[in-house]
Amino acid sequence: MPIYEYKCDSCGEDFEKLVFGSQEVICPKCSSQKVKKKFSVFCSTGTEKPLAGTSGCTSCSKTTCSTCK
């Protein structure tokens, strides 16, 4: 089951919630049902090599270049 990030429209609280199916999401701070799902991006830390399908260079599209370290 995915963990989603939410922001409460009532109190401004940012929080994460493990959601099962069509479960209703309620703010843990103020108990409001006025919450919006935030856009989340996947992040991987601690890898020494680039992830499959990604470039090893952040400044160009090559896998290695003189600016890559």
| Domain edges within the chain | 3-37
pTM over 0.85: no
- Per-residue tokens: 26: 């309620």
CA dist 16 and 9 (Å) reads 15
Strand intervals (E) in 1-69 = 3-8, 14-18, 35-37
Q: Please write the tens of the pLDDT for every residue from 15-69.
A: 999 988 888 999 999 999 999 999 866 655 665 555 555 555 555 656 556 665 5
